[in-house]
Structure formats: structure tokens, C-alpha cells
Amino acid sequence: MAVLLVAAPAAATTEGPAQDTTSHVRAAFVEPHVDDARVVRIEGAGPDTAQALPDPRLFVDAVDRADPYRVHQWGLDVIGEEVLLGGERGAGITVAVVDSGVDAAHPELAGAVVDGWSVFGTDWGHDTLGHGTAVAGIIAARADDGTGMAGLADAVDIVSVKVVDPDGGAWASDVAEGILWAVDRGVDVINISLTTDVDAPVLRHAVRIAMEEGVVVVASAGNHGSDGNATMYPAAVEGVVGVAPLEESLAGTTFGSHGDWVDLSAPGTRVFTTAPGGGHTVVNGGSFAAPFVVGALAHLLSVAPHTTAGPLSPDSAIQRLVDSTVDVGRRGWDERTGAGALDLAAALVDLGPRRILGWGRAERAASLAATAIGDGRATSAVLVSDDGWADALSGTGLVGPDVPLLLAGHGGIPAATRRELSRVLPRGSEVVLLGGEQVLPQLVVDELEAGGWMPVRVSGPSRIETALAVASRPSLAESDTVLLASADGWVDAVAGGVAAARLGVPLLLTSGEVLHPAVAAHLAALQPTTIVLLGGPAALSMDLEEAVAATTGVTPTRAGGMDRRETAEAIRDLLLADAAGMTVIDGWDDDAWVDGLAASPLGLPIAIAPGPGGATIQSSGVLATRQRVVDAAS
């Protein structure tokens, strides 16, 4: 059998050698050898020509499985998964998993596995061993769907390259052929959680070609640290990103191979992931550290173009991951953990703010929804009038990481809103319209029904009554926490709306001087245990505070300051102190209510951009911590 080592349309053929027309074309003839071994003869210029070269077996880099019922994704916590925005999980990036196949029918990988190739035939979408499915789950398991687990980059396209047999082994020539097929397929990143202690030229050549074509190759550093600690390939091939496994304590594992081929380290023990047949398991091994780095890399490559850093080359993306690691071993680089532990949060922060652009209100709202929520991930949606903020302020209690807030108006559903609904919300799902027909006419209802969605109108005679109607929805009706803002302006309510969305609590409105009778009646009936007033005494008077206490028997907490900027900071500190970033809006722009409300699914506190008089955002150190900034200032 001959394997053509060239990244070209005819790559990975077994029909015979091709003419050596480039500097890296080699025809590798696979021949049987003694004891069921195989050798490779490489035809072409170079010192390897005509030599009987080894075609070693590579093996999956896993150790014994741990408790399969232990559902605890500690790995996501330590690498900073909390900074990931739902709509940016590796979109537009294609990853090849060179392994034992991937269970393409697994519910957690639904739609993620888009193509494949198998050295055994057409079975790339099946995985009897389970190793490749476990690797793919760490990278791409569907997140934010309320079930199972969360992959790091669940918007990537997975290409399954099946080279491993049911015994857990693969010939180097088969791995090489699979690598070259993946390169021809146009993948961006290749995950190889396989190792051998033989530096096989056939494998080294294939890896080199992949890198010359701009493909990043990430490989397990090995599991033989306590078993001779031989140099492991392909991780030890120059240019390959070698990843060592970490314990939960962030110490290097005793079983992990160690040496100068270790570039960085990632979680590799008790890793919860997908198993063939729709199940899950917990696994150990260097095999499962590499896909953490692959998922992180997919994030960097997909997000960078939308930040101040701009698009990244593969080499610069890898360097950012290495430079942002947490030093967990000996000071500086060490042979067990490399540069340190993967820290995706730090790498993303270093990209700078992500700016959300849009010419109109509907376009900006749609852009923010796309940043927050992945394709087909919404469970419902909220539509508000593009005419003004009156009814829109109370809608954030219905918004969340899987519920966008979008705009419509007298002219019906704008094109940007329609596109975003089609992208994010499955047909048959509920769309809540906030406000009466005077702001969202019957035309909007008709267009939603024609599109296959289920419109539900929630409204009242005024913005205050609309907020009460929202608070009476089943998801909010029994909340023991209530946020209360002035109905006379939008800034404090918008800043508090993010907290309402993230905490899943209602936001009520009242006049700033006197507690509205309908609100008083609602509070008296609900008897919440926590009431937060959004704004200082100038926004919600002391008389109103006393009326709230008298009505409920609860002394309200106030999140407020001397101006809108300080109030936004107080809301952040009181209700969203654990958030990993912020959304920056212009609190003096009459249109900025759109940005603040539409950003609610992100769950990031609002920061008011410098306004009149040159005020500055009091957020020193934000970019130096594990936080990100979304710049929604229009």
C-alpha cells in the first residue's frame, strides 16, 4: 500500500506514488514485516529514500476510567470557562479528531460532527472504543442546553478521522494518511491524542505538511511518566503543541510523560465527557488534556477578529495560550507542566474589548444576541418596541443565557430581528411581545405566526402595569427577590436588568417619589424576602423606601450612587460581583437602552462609558483580572 504524503487534492491516496513536484512530496510504501509489524519505504529525494523505516503503532493516551457517575467538570472552572460568551464558542473553526472515530449520533454532539474519513471504510461516525467520542465531547459537547455537559467550543465543526482500531492502536502510516486527509478537508486544528515512542518519518512528514499548510497540530504529551518516560511522538515533533495532564490541584500527574516536548498543561484527571451510545463517562489521561487546548484555541481563532486584537495567525494564537498560562510547577517552564496551566480567561482578556457594531437599534440588538447565544440555542425570545424603552425595561426578568431580547415595531419585524430569530430560535418556540398593539401591532403577531413561532403578548395600561404583568409570569411569580427601579428613566433599570436576567428575578417599576398602588399591592401579596432599590435617593426617594418597608415588613437594600455611573457600579458590586467581565454602554446616549437591554443574556454587569465632564469608569484592574469587556457603546 502506498500513502502519498502531500497536502493536495489527491492526498492520502492508496493508489500509488505521484510525481514528486514539490519539496515535500513523498510516496510512503507500507510493507508487511515480521511478527505482524510493518515498515515504510519513502520514495523521493532525501536521506530516508529506500530505507526500511519503522511504521510503529500509536496508542490512545488514556489510563483507567474513573467513577463514571461523577459529574463534575472541574476542568472548565480552572481554565476560566466563566468568561465564555454563548455565541462565540469556536464558530467558524473546523477541528479534526484523529482517533477511534466519533459517535456522530450522540445527543451532545448533535450537528457538531460534519464529516469524516476512516482507514477502515465508512465507519467514521461510529466509535466502539469510545476514546474519540470522549475527546470530541471535551471540545464540542453542546453547552447551555440544560442537559449533560458543556464542551469548550461547541460551535466548532468536528471532522472525525478514524485510524484507531478496537484494541486502541493505530499504525503511524494510517495516522499520517488521516492527517493529510484532514489537511485537504480544510481543517484549522488537528487533535491527536495518540502516542508512540518511535520517531517515525512517515508521521513526522505528515505533521510537517499540516503545519506548512497553516494547520495547528495539538497532541497528548504521553502517559508514560512513571513507565520509563520515553520521548513521545507526535508531541515531540517540532512545532506540535504538546499538552501534559494536570490533577485538580493543578499539579502535574505522576503518570504524565515529561520532557522538552511539553508546551503547556491542562486538566487530565477525572474529566467528565461523552461516551458512545448517548452516555457520559469520567476519564483520566493525557488524551483528555489535549482537547482542552484545542477548544481554547478554537475560541481564540473565532473571537479575535471581533476584538481590538484583530485576527490571529495559528502561531500567534498558540503563543497567546502559552503566554497566558498559570505557572504551576517550578518557576518558569518545567518539563512536567511546560509553560504552565491553560488559562483561557487570561488569553481572551488579552485580546481586548469585543466591540458590538450595528447601524440601527434592531441591528445592534441582533448583534448582541448573536454574541450571547449560539445557533439554535434559544428556548424563547422577547420582542420589545423599537420606538422607546417604556415597556422594554421590565423584560429582562424573562431574558437569560438562552432567551434573547430583540426589537420590532410598527413596520413589523425588521430584517435583522428576523434573521436572528431564524438563527437562534427553533420554530414552534414562544416569542413574548412586551406591550400592547399600539407599540407592537398585529402585523408583528402575524409575521411571527407565519414564521412558525408562537407569539404571546404581555402588556398593561402603562409601563408600570406591564412590569407587573411580566412579574406574574410563571417563571417569576414566586420569586423571593424583587428589584425596584424608577419608571421615569432607563439607565438604572437597564443596569439592574442584567441582574434580573442573570438571577431570574422580576424588575418592577414605580414613580420615583411615591410607591405606585399596584406595585404596593403586588409586594404585599408576594411578601418577598429581599427587595433591592436601584438608584440613589434622587431616583427612588427616602419616602418611597419607607413605604416599601411598611408594605412588606422588609427593609430594602439600596444599590445606588450619586449618578448613573456610580449606581451601575453599585449594582455590579451588590448583585453581580462574581461576573467575569462587563458590558460598556454610553449612559448619556438616548439609544443606549437598546444596547444595555439586549446585552442582558450575556449576564455581564453594565458599566457606563465616560460621559459629560470626562468622568471615568471606576474599574481599575478589570483587564488584569479574569474578566472581559463587551463594548456595546454605539
C-alpha grid cell, residue 160 = 472525525
Cβ atoms of 277 and 174 within 8 Å: the answer is: no
Cβ count within 10 A of residue 63:
18
Cβ atoms of 61 and 278 within 8 Å: the answer is: no
Angstrom distance (rounded) from CA 75 to CA 282: 12
Active-site residue, from 287, 367, 486, 634: 287
CA 332 vs. chain centroid, Å, equals 29
Q: How do strand 581-585 and strand 606-608 relate by DSSP bridges? A: parallel
Q: Determine whether 287 is an active site residue.
A: yes
Closest by alpha carbon to 282, among 105, 438, 62, 17? 62
Q: 506: which residues sit within 8 A by CB, 6+ positions away?
A: 394, 397, 467, 470, 471, 476, 479, 482, 483, 500
Instruction: Identify the DSSP state of 403.
Output: B
φ, ψ for residue 286 (rounded to 5)?
A: -65, -25
Active-site residue, from 106, 126, 131, 224: 131
Angstrom distance (rounded) from CA 117 to CA 241: 23
Cβ atoms of 248 and 320 within 8 Å: the answer is: no
Angstrom distance (rounded) from CA 57 to CA 38: 9
Q: 224: which residues sit within 8 A by CB, 6+ positions away?
A: 195, 197, 230, 232, 255, 257
C-alpha grid cell, residue 237 = 515533533
Look up cell 468536528; give the residue.
158
Cβ count within 10 A of residue 397:
27
Q: Determine whether 224 is an active site residue.
A: no
Angstrom distance (rounded) from CA 468 to CA 459: 9
Active-site residue, from 99, 127, 174, 263: 99
Q: By CB neighbour count within 10 A (0-12 exposed, 13-18 middle, 19+ buried), where does 74 fall?
A: middle
Helix (H, G, I), strand (E, B) or coil at 585: strand
Closest by alpha carbon to 139, among 295, 7, 302, 370? 295
Angstrom distance (rounded) from CA 494 to CA 318: 38
* Integer CA distances (angstroms), 186 to 210, 216, 238, 302, in order: 10, 12, 22, 16
Angstrom distance (rounded) from CA 293 to CA 301: 12
Q: Determine whether 99 is an active site residue.
A: yes
**Which residues are annotated as catalytic?**
99, 131, 287
